[in-house]
Structure 1
Amino acid sequence: MRPTARIHHYKWYELIGVYAGLAVFLFFVLAPFFEGFMVSLKPLNHLFSAPYRFWPEDPSLAAYYDMWERVPLLGRYIFNSILIAGIGTALSVIFVTPAAYAFARFEFKGRGPLLGAFLAVNMFSGAVLLIPLFRLMRSFGLINTYFAMIVPGVAFTIPTGIWLLRTYMLRIPRELEEAALVDGASRFYTFRRVIVPLAMPGIAVIAIAAFLTIYAQQFIFALTFNSKTEYMPLPVGLYAFFGRQEVIWNELMAASFVGILPVFIVFLFLQRYLVAGMTAGAVKT
């Protein structure tokens, strides 16, 4: 007998309540994005006209063309953001995967306090650590380089990544490793050929989370650790749309939507791994 979805056990009025709640939640989540897109289609002189019109009278994609003229290096800023987030994500996955495996499989002195320390790191905002991070970056000669923004981003994603991936690896049966070790495989070979393939959905979740985190946190680090235009990421580059007399809101929204396009593409291609990683182990077999 095939199991039926839990949603089919609700009564009709309960279903109405569930879907109504979901509709309200989606409205508050998606409404700002939709409104921002509408702003990008409006001429600047129509944004503050009264009465306010949600749907533009004469929608145009002019802002998506004009933004490149107003900020000639916008493409460079987007490339820098993708480069910083991409390298940071790769480094985060490289460091997190073996560390999570060690915390999941080995018993060693101080493991509990160390995990607690990793969790405590997430309690601190990046702004609190700007001064010590700046001194550290200057001592290593990383100021005005890509690594001045990559290293802090990786440092803030590793603790959360270890916690999440460790929980995923705890669900992988130990018998699989023991069988490989009995057959003569080394611990590293077992980790590389047995554990990593099985943990790929969890690793994909860590990669997506790291990419989104590093991509979103570039502003404060770039503003503090970098003063060269050629290394500026997109969040700092968007400052160019803030003039002394006015803010070019339609072009700012257009540039913002173009800037989040790489994140959308990454999420689109990796969403099946994200769903698999989030649901794996939820059902006991």
Structure 2
Amino acid sequence: MSSGRPMIDRYRWYEYAVIYAGMFLFLAFVLSPFVEGFLVSLKPLTHLFSSPYRFWPDDGSFDAYFTIWEHVPLLGRYIFNSLLISTVATVVVLILVVPAAYAFARFEFPGRGPLLGAFLGVNMFAGAVLLIPLYRLMRSMGLLNTYFAMIVPGVAFLIPTAIWLLRTYLLRIPRELEEAAWVDGAGRLYILRRIVLPIAAPGILVVALATFIGAYAQQFIFALTFNSKSELMPLAVGLFAFFGKERVVWNELMAASFVGIAPVMIGFIFLQRYLVAGLTAGAVKQ
């Protein structure tokens, strides 16, 4: 006979202990590199490899966060380039993916299944495998040493995943809403713009964030191959400026890394509840 309590309230004290211990170990494993990187940014360079190892620096300071701008004058430009490339790639992906995902979710047409499978197959190829043909393509189009050389390949690799994510979300939107508008005389574009898109806004936000992160993360290999101009380099490549011939300025390298990811982290903090809502809403098809 059911006790009437939710399943989550039926755990015993030792089961709670195991659950929370597992969560703690998982978070410690995931967050430990970030914590260590932040502590390295606070330590003086001469104390980074001192023995015995000290987890918390007694003489730590935020000096590296100020000196990075002097030692790498183009650091602000690198961060701007990364944000620009990721933003443009995200906008282009959304413009192409929204109608495509709606078509895959609502229309039956020959080859739909194989085409969706081909999209998954594209994700199985690493960008490094296609660097040579991509380089020849960028050179023939005259796009080398431009922002487009880093945006176009990124968009091509991000579109398949974005279509699958958004299609899954659109499948849970009741068809009856669109059929009612269709009976009232609304066209497909009107239904998509005034009915589907407002309801699918949380899912579109999830796709936008995932695309932005993907574009931000894959800039290194494309920028290193298709661009040789310092003023166009994204942050991932610009961090090489902290690698000298005789030493690596590790504290400033870590400081620059945290400064570079700060805009993305701030965006996630403000959009966190919308991201969680979109992920959970698209998890179950109704």
Q: Above 0.5 in TM-score?
A: yes
How far apart, CA to CA, are the structure 1 residues paired with 2:81 and 2:282?
37
**2:130 aligned residue:** 129
**1:261 aligned residue:** 262
Pairwise CA distance, 1:281: 4.9
The answer on 1:207 being equivalent to 2:203 is no
Equivalent residue of 1:143, what SS?
coil
How far apart, CA to CA, are the structure 1 residues paired with 2:285 and 2:12?
28
The answer on 1:194 being equivalent to 2:221 is no
Q: How many positions carry a matched residue from both structures? A: 283
State the one-letter code of the partner of 2:101.
A
Q: 1:31 to 1:5 in 2, by over 3 A?
A: farther
How far apart, CA to CA, are the structure 2 residues paired with 1:41 and 1:110?
56
Equivalent residue of 1:175, what SS?
helix
Q: Which runs of 4+ in 1 moved over 4 A?
A: 281-285
Pairwise CA distance, 1:263: 1.1
State the one-letter code of the partner of 2:28.
F
Further displaced range: 274-283 or 27-36:
274-283
**1:29 aligned residue:** 30
How far apart, CA to CA, are the structure 2 residues paired with 1:173 and 1:253?
48
Q: 1:38 to 1:128 in 2, by over 3 A?
A: same
C-alpha deviations, 1:73-100, integer Å up to 9, x for none?
0000000000000010111111111100
Pairwise CA distance, 1:5: 5.2
Pairwise CA distance, 1:269: 2.2
Equivalent residue of 1:189, what SS?
helix
Identity %, equivalent residues: 72
C-alpha deviations, 1:40-80, integer Å up to 9, x for none?
00000000111111110111111111111110000000000
**2:165 aligned residue:** 164
Equivalent residue of 1:156, what SS?
helix
Equivalent residue of 1:185, what SS?
coil
**1:39 aligned residue:** 40
Pairwise CA distance, 1:140: 1.3
**2:142 aligned residue:** 141
TM-score of the aligned structures, taking structure 1 as reference length: 0.97
Once the two structures are superposed, the pairs formed by residues 1-285 of structure 1 within 5 Å of their partners are: 6-282=7-283
C-alpha deviations, 1:85-126, integer Å up to 9, x for none?
001011111111110000000000110110000000010100
How far apart, CA to CA, are the structure 2 residues paired with 1:284 and 1:92?
24
State the one-letter code of the partner of 1:196.
L
Pairwise CA distance, 1:152: 1.1
Q: 1:116 to 1:188 in 2, by over 3 A?
A: same
Pairwise CA distance, 1:11: 1.4
Show structure 2 runs of 5+ residues with no match: none
How far apart, CA to CA, are the structure 1 residues paired with 2:76 and 2:48?
26
How far apart, CA to CA, are the structure 1 residues paired with 2:109 and 2:154?
28
Equivalent residue of 1:107, what SS?
coil
Pairwise CA distance, 1:141: 1.1
How far apart, CA to CA, are the structure 1 residues paired with 2:26 and 2:185?
53
Pairwise CA distance, 1:9: 2.0
C-alpha deviations, 1:179-229, integer Å up to 9, x for none?
111111111000011011111111111000000010011010000000011
C-alpha deviations, 1:207-265, integer Å up to 9, x for none?
00000010011010000000011110001100000011111000000000001111112
Q: 1:269 to 1:15 in 2, by over 3 A?
A: same
Pairwise CA distance, 1:283: 6.1
Pairwise CA distance, 1:139: 1.4
State the one-letter code of the partner of 1:68.
W
How far apart, CA to CA, are the structure 1 residues paired with 2:255 and 2:155?
29
How far apart, CA to CA, are the structure 2 residues paired with 1:5 and 1:271?
26
How far apart, CA to CA, are the structure 2 residues paired with 1:231 and 1:208?
23
How far apart, CA to CA, are the structure 2 residues paired with 1:24 and 1:65?
34
Pairwise CA distance, 1:272: 1.7
Pairwise CA distance, 1:7: 2.4
How far apart, CA to CA, are the structure 2 residues paired with 1:156 and 1:246?
36
Equivalent residue of 1:246, what SS?
coil
How far apart, CA to CA, are the structure 2 residues paired with 1:153 and 1:209?
13
